[in-house]
Structure 1
Amino acid sequence: MANTYDIAYDLEKQIRESDEYEQLKQAYQAVNEQAEAKKLFDDFRQLQLELQQKQMTGEAISEEEAKSAEQSFQNIQQHKEITALMSAEQRMSLMINDLNQIITKPLQELYGTLEEENK
């Protein structure tokens, strides 16, 4: 039987060779080649991170911060390179979520079985 870590490294290689990853890489490069798009995208990502950190710590997001996030989102939607990047990110995220479900299926089945036995 193959070593589980070897299989994981093979999966990493397959992800790097996937269409989803290649499209993400190209979209990211296109954004980085345009100074204005790069700055808008970087600012949006920074704002996203700050708001996520606040939510994780239970801190309330102010109305001003929510408006700022909405304005930032509207600004980035006007750049086709950024919207292409965000779309590619979504496709990549979907693939990784699907892979995660496949990988964790034995645990889900195990704990599902244990929960059924305890009822």
Structure 2
Amino acid sequence: MINIYNEINALEATFRKTPEFQALKEAVTVVKEDEEAFNLFKNFRKIQMDLQQKQLAGEDLLEDELIYAQKTAQLAQQNEKITKMIEAEMQLSKLIEEVNRILVKPIQALYEEF
């Protein structure tokens, strides 16, 4: 019997060794070591999470909340360390998307006959 979890755990170990993961790991460390960048990113992330929770709960987003979120996002984007971290995350996301495409190929193949 095949234990898919053994295979996934092996893939996870390999994933950690990819250049994309290593680049993100280094970028996160750089942000964490800079107190200003770290606090700015934490605030940016908290605002994002709060707004997402409100949306999921079906609550309306207030205009002042959106303006504050936009200003915080602009400040975060102006920080070179945060920008590099986000770019590294985007590169890693591309790798994850590619892996996901490969994983769902067998499912897609099943439905190609329809």
Say whether the fold is shared (TM-score over 0.5).
yes
Larger mean Cα displacement after TM superposition, 98-107 or 36-45: 98-107
Larger mean Cα displacement after TM superposition, 38-47 or 88-97: 88-97
Structure 1 segment 18-97 matched on structure 2, within 5 A: 18-97=18-97
Displacement, 1:3? 3.8
Distance 2:11 2:62 in 1: 42
Displacement, 1:26? 0.3
Displacement, 1:96? 1.1
- Aligned pairs, how many? 114
Displacement, 1:107? 2.2
Deviation per residue, 1:26-60 (Å, 9 max, x gap): 00000000101000000000111111112222222
Runs ≥4 residues deviating over 4 A? none
TM normalised by structure 2 equals 0.90
Give unmatched runs, 5+ long, in structure 1: none
Displacement, 1:113? 4.3
Displacement, 1:2? 6.1
Distance 1:60 1:101 in 2: 35
Alignment partner of 2:61: what SS? Answer: coil
TM normalised by structure 1 equals 0.86
Distance 1:102 1:67 in 2: 40
Distance 1:109 1:59 in 2: 40
Give unmatched runs, 5+ long, in structure 2: none
Q: Percent identity between the aligned chains?
A: 39
Distance 2:101 2:52 in 1: 24
Residue type matched to 1:6 in 2? Answer: N
Residue type matched to 1:15 in 2? Answer: F
Distance 1:58 1:94 in 2: 30
Q: State the partner residue of 1:109.
A: 109
